[in-house]
Structure 1
């Protein structure tokens, strides 16, 4: 019985029916999903949506004649309406917000903002709705570029050469009052801490007044390329030979063919130096010779060129006389003269006493005779 069923047509009929049912279910399930997705899409398309975006503000004005300040660069725009339209507007931003100043002159003005390019089925709300602007006559002047380098960031002992600019003079445009207040246009170079390498960078320019305050003006070009040579500070100094350790009994004279030396170091140390002292040790020198002396670097001096010099040392013995005992010294000569004066005074006094005694005797004899 089972064998007949398996070999008979009923098995194939049942399998065919089962496969037909599966195919029917698959086809209808796909249609159901498609219908659901279509319905969802239609629902989304018909739904409303609100979205807020920031967009650039477009100013319509005669910018060749006037300079306008006070308005924001961007404004907020709230879009409300059908989901599809709002989504398209947000994704493409194919609309503009405009402040129309074409009919305005100099002075302060309040301007209502308008939109263009947004579908009429979308509700638009702009924030702010109005802007305040200040309009002045526009002027243009030329200014040289001044380079300001933060030298405190350089490595110790290093200094900078003269800056080289891609453009030495730039144009400054803006409101007449602002341009007239410009004191200088500066390119501030801020090197890395401990910089030893040459500087080569693009620097943003800034216009400042006498107090160093930045001004709201347009600079063309806005940047310049600055190249600065960074090197260790240097100074060329005459050499000053100094003797140390001279031996008694000898006379020394020093000469060198090297007349000057270039030293590198801190600017303050270099400024205080007027010559470079070279100390020559003579403690072991008793005959004329040539000696190579290494230059000793003072504080805050890091290198020298050259770092050694050759010094010629001439040595001559000191000579003394053997007959010094026969020569009267000034003190001995003075003492002899004083003794001579005492002797002469004593002789003179004795002579005077004898003369007075003789005179007294003669006078007495004469008196007696008269009596």
Structure 2
């Protein structure tokens, strides 16, 4: 036996057996404890936290004002879930500071609670607070309007004078705080505003000279504001500007658009404007009669209902038709010889709208002389030119010299 205990392997085996046994014992005990805990729910306490419990102030509000009191405190509640959960959900208890027996000055006071079930324990953070109690004072202040983002108004719109009702509010606080008041105002955002604001309710804010907001009592806490939005306008003459020359063969007959245009902008800008023009039309790009859309060249800070207008441009065109035959009419037609010109042909220049001239063909033009009443010999005869309506024809000569043979 002594030899057995002196064996290293025997000692190692015995140690392993003890270690396994100890592990199994601890595991079984832990599982047993867990099972007992599951079997006995509600016997152990829980803790739930209310992060924003309102804090009441008990003070003679007709005589004093107090500063340094937070609006909310953190409350941790401990107890059985059956009691704890309804209390946390309903918050039907009160957390407060009692300042009724304290006078003016600085005080450190404890935060208290009431209407708490006896089997719950409450922990409040912070436990105490430092407060300052001062005599109550009040003063009336005019309310001003601060228009935000006025540069973001749509172009052509203008803000009128805002109206606030009531125009004055009463500020209630300590005399020290009231002496610090520098601004009492409301804020109205006018970004992209196109219609007037009517009777909008807006809260009143109070600031000191550095722009810090002051925590004071304002009566009434909000006012109504109306902000008129206007769109001043003016009708001015419209000038059509051009540059360059028309292509060869084209002539400008009409350049027409609206005589007046309505523009919108701030009054001080409109008062300086006597006319509005288009951007320059490059006549070199105009090759036919048509209605062209042309942008307006509006001054800065001015808009119109449309950024462009229609301009009617009518063109005329000249075209020469070479060697148009001259017909002979009358009983003596077979006996006629042309003297001047020697040949029975003439060059004709046609003038008319570019649309008509572009469709005009040589075959559409006829020229003739009437020799029916002429006797033998040389005669000057008037040249007649005929063609489509609304086209003016100019022959290179107006008379023809002919010889009538007997």
Shorter-chain TM-score bucket reads 0.5 to 0.7
- TM-score (norm. length: structure 2): 0.49
Partner of 1:300: 301
Partner of 1:121: 119
Give runs of aligned pairs for residues 1-371 of structure 1, distance below 5 A. Answer: 43-54=40-51, 55-150=53-148, 151-192=150-191, 194-200=192-198, 201-233=200-232, 264-266=264-266, 269-270=269-270, 273=272, 276=274, 298-302=299-303
1:287-309 alpha-carbon deviations (Å, 9 max, x no partner): xxxxxxxx9964433359xxxxx
- Shift in CA distance, 135/236, structure 1 to aligned 2, threshold 3 Å: farther
Larger mean Cα displacement after TM superposition, 78-87 or 55-64: 78-87
1:164, CA displacement in angstroms?
2.3
- Shift in CA distance, 41/85, structure 1 to aligned 2, threshold 3 Å: farther
- Could you say which structure has the larger radius of gyration? 1
Measured in 2, the distance between the counterparts of 1:278 and 1:52 equals 71
- Shift in CA distance, 147/46, structure 1 to aligned 2, threshold 3 Å: same
Measured in 1, the distance between the counterparts of 2:160 and 2:67 equals 40
- Shift in CA distance, 175/41, structure 1 to aligned 2, threshold 3 Å: farther
Gaps of 5+ in 1: 1-38, 240-260, 280-294, 305-371
- Shift in CA distance, 267/173, structure 1 to aligned 2, threshold 3 Å: same
- TM-score (norm. length: structure 1): 0.54
Gaps of 5+ in 2: 1-35, 238-260, 278-295, 306-406
Give SS of 2:86's match.
Answer: helix
- Shift in CA distance, 114/228, structure 1 to aligned 2, threshold 3 Å: same
1:79, CA displacement in angstroms?
1.6
**Is the Cα contact below 8 Å between 2:155 and 2:302 reproduced in 1?**
no
1:266, CA displacement in angstroms?
3.8
1:83, CA displacement in angstroms?
2.5
Measured in 1, the distance between the counterparts of 2:45 and 2:180 equals 54
Give SS of 1:46's match.
Answer: coil
Give SS of 1:276's match.
Answer: coil
Measured in 2, the distance between the counterparts of 1:96 and 1:83 equals 20
1:87-111 alpha-carbon deviations (Å, 9 max, x no partner): 2322232211121111112222110
Measured in 2, the distance between the counterparts of 1:123 and 1:182 equals 43
Partner of 2:402: none
1:52, CA displacement in angstroms?
1.6
| More helix per residue | 1
Aligned residues: 227
